[in-house]
Amino acid sequence: MKIRNVHPSDYPPIIAHLDDWWGGRKMSSMLPRLFFEHFSDTSYIIEKNGQIVAFLIGFLSKSQPKESYIHFVGVHPQHRHCGYGRLLYERFFDTVRQDQRSVVRCVTSPINTTSIAFHIHMGFQIEPGEAILDGVAYDPDHDGPGEHRVRFIRQV
């Protein structure tokens, strides 16, 4: 198992199977190629036996000098519960600290209870929101009409 930076050539093999990784949910429109071409130095891949088993797409905010953002994380369905998500997040946290930054932000859907539990386990706090689902505050229409999001923040 090794962790390395994303490379633009990783995009085709990842995007071809991305929706399958989410059980058929249409996710690929959220992940255009630009992130692999222009933010590869803050994005990471885990390979096992030459196969991509997990990846994280993150960047350092340009407008907010102390902030960073994790846009997308995927773990191959057959390689979950191995700690790969935690490993990727911790690698990204290191990158954020090395750039003298202190804040990591990300969002997830309020119906994605697995993701919400993961982020709380990873030390994120949930930001206030104008609505609540199952006790979790979220921001309605955060990413467009009907695209509600729980907003996470973590100091690193």
Footprint of a copy of itself on this chain (CB under 8 A)?
A: 12, 15-16, 18-19, 28-34, 37-42, 59-64, 67, 69, 71, 141-145, 147
Query: 93-103 burial, b for 16+ CB within 10 Å, e for fewer?
Result: bebbeeeebeb
Minimal distance, residue 2 CB to a copy of itself, in Å: 20
Q: Which is nearer to a copy of itself, 61 or 121 (CB)?
A: 61
Minimal distance, residue 141 CB to a copy of itself, in Å: 7
Q: Which is nearer to a copy of itself, 49 or 100 (CB)?
A: 100
Q: Is residue 156 within 8 Å of residue 93, measured between CB atoms?
A: yes
Minimal distance, residue 153 CB to a copy of itself, in Å: 12
Q: Which is nearer to a copy of itself, 42 or 115 (CB)?
A: 42
Q: Which is nearer to a copy of itself, 8 or 83 (CB)?
A: 8
Rounded to whole angstroms, the Cα distance separating 90 from 19 reads 25
Would you state the structure tokens that stand for residue 77, as one six-digit string?
């369905």
Rounded to whole angstroms, the Cα distance separating 146 from 81 reads 30
Minimal distance, residue 29 CB to a copy of itself, in Å: 5
Minimal distance, residue 60 CB to a copy of itself, in Å: 7
**What is the torsion angle, in degrees rounded to the nearest 10, for the CA atoms of residue 55, residue 150, residue 61 and residue 42?**
-10
Rounded to whole angstroms, the Cα distance separating 114 from 26 reads 18
Q: Which is nearer to a copy of itself, 7 or 86 (CB)?
A: 7
Would you state the structure tokens that stand for residue 151, as one six-digit string?
């907003």
